[in-house]
Amino acid sequence: MPTTRRQFLNLAGSLTVAGTIPIVTLRPLEATPAMLTAAIRNVVGEAPLRTGKVKLDIPPLVENGNTVPMTVSVASPMTADDYVKSIHVFNEKNPQPNIGNFYLSPSSGRAQVSTRIRLADTQKVVAIARLSDDTFWQVAADVVVTLAACTEEMN
Amino acid sequence: MAALINVPAKARRGDVIEIRTLTSHIMETGFRHTADGALVPRDIITSFMCRYNGTEIFRADLFPAIAANPYLSFFTVAKESGKFEFEWIGDNGYSSSASAMITVE
């Protein structure tokens, strides 16, 4: 039986559809809240995580997720027996939950760190401080991102 | 590679001073694709360290979520005149360093 024009177009159409599906599903995975929890547990271990002491300055609405200014500061006297050992920053929905780890010492004088980060989506950013007595303190901030970073195509 | 370092030239002993650093680096995340679908390999700075007269005073682990041309600002107590040394280490054997002098009165 000779192939009709209708049969041919049907076949070609379904092949095209089948061909596009893998491209659509090939999106990079996002870090899930479970990955965020696991990353935090990696740093904190089984220690209790308390809220307070830490301040996270980040704009609540950013137009471009490629450079988001961020400052973390911790209320601490920064003396030899009461200081901040480290500051850890995490995100919820980038492909990877870590943003940065910063290690301080009593000679830092002030427990404050600033940098610029990337955010791939509207999400929660979490900052955790480890004090010299090995207690952990956290704060979270929600950021709305209109242009996402990290996973866009190269030009 | 080019780095911009901002350290006060002079400080009084015991002052808390801010140190700001900026270095040029692409910080390729390793999660981006080219238009034809190939994954662009990761190329980031993974570690930053600052020494004050040989003693480490600040260290950072960086991840792909740090923006291109990493900017870092942190604080230290001005104890004595001397030299700040900065070092960035990254993927593919990347390494760069810079230094700045301070006079403490």
d(CA A37, CA A133): 23
User: pTM of the prediction?
Assistant: 0.84
Inspect the interface and report whether the beta carbons of B73 and A116 lie closer than 8 Å.
no
Residue ranges of domains in chain B, CATH in brackets: 3-29+41-104 (2.60.40.10)
B28-71 residue pLDDT tens: 999 988 888 899 999 999 999 999 999 999 999 999 999 999 99
* Lowest mean per-residue pLDDT among A6-10, A40-44, A55-59, A127-131: A6-10
d(CA A105, CA B57): 7
CB distance A103–B60 less than 8 Å? yes
Note the pLDDT of residue B15. 94
| Closest partner CB to A112 (pick from B60, B64, B75) | B75
CB proximity A151 to B under 8 Å: yes
Q: Residue A33's pLDDT band (boundaries 50, 70, 90)?
A: confident
Residue showing tokens 């990337």: A118
pLDDT mean over A14-42: 65
At residue A152, the pLDDT reads 65
A138 inside 8 A of chain B by CB = no
A contacts of B65 (beta carbons < 8 Å)? 91, 94, 96, 98-100, 117-119, 150
Query: Does residue A113 sit at the B interface (CB-CB below 8 Å)?
Result: yes
Residue A27's pLDDT is: 44
User: DSSP readout, chain B?
Assistant: --EEEE--SEE-TT-EEEEEEEE----B-S--B-TTSPBPPPB-EEEEEEEETTEEEEEEEE-TTBPSS-EEEEEEE--SSEEEEEEEEEGGG-EEEEEEEEEE-
pLDDT of residue B104: 96
**pLDDT of res. B35:** 87
- Res A24: pLDDT: 43
What residue spans define the domains of chain A? Answer: 30-147
Q: Is B13 on the interface with A (CB under 8 A)?
A: no
Q: State the pLDDT confidence band at B95, using cuts at 50, 70 and 90.
A: very high
Asked whether residue A147 carries a pLDDT value surpassing 90, the answer given is: no
- Per-residue pLDDT, B73: 97
> pLDDT over 90 for what percent of chain B?
91
> Does the beta-carbon distance from B79 to A114 stay under 8 Å?
no
Q: What is the pLDDT of residue A43?
A: 92
> Is B29 in CB contact (< 8 Å) with chain A?
yes
Q: Is the pLDDT of residue A3 over 80?
A: no
Report CB contact under 8 Å: A113, B74.
yes
Look at residue A12 in the predicted model and tell me its pLDDT: 67
Nearest CB to A100; choose among B37, B61, B75: B61
What's the length of chain B? Answer: 105
**Is residue A31 pLDDT above 60, yes or no?**
yes
* Residues of chain B contacting A68 with CB distance shorter than 8 Å: 67
Residue of A nearest to B41 (CA): A154
Q: How confident is the model at residue A25 (pLDDT cuts 50, 70, 90)?
A: very low
Which of B59, B67, B75 is the closest to A109 by Cβ?
B75
Q: What pLDDT was estimated at residue A9?
A: 73
Lowest mean pLDDT among A12-16, A95-99, B34-38: A12-16
Which fold, A30-147?
A: Immunoglobulin-like (2.60.40)
**More confident call, B20 vs A13:** B20
The answer, for B59 touching chain A at a CB cutoff of 8 Å, is: yes
Phi then psi dihedrals of residue A111, to 5 deg: -90, 80
Q: What is the predicted pLDDT for the residue at A148?
A: 79
Give the separation between CA B6 and CA B22, rounded to whole angstroms: 9
Tell me whether strands B16-23 and B3-6 are parallel, antiparallel or unpaired.
antiparallel
Q: Which residues of B touch A107 (CB under 8 A)?
A: 52, 55, 57, 76-77, 79
Tell me the chain B residues in contact with residue A118 when contact means C-beta distances shorter than 8 Å: 29, 64-67
Per-residue pLDDT at A32 = 73
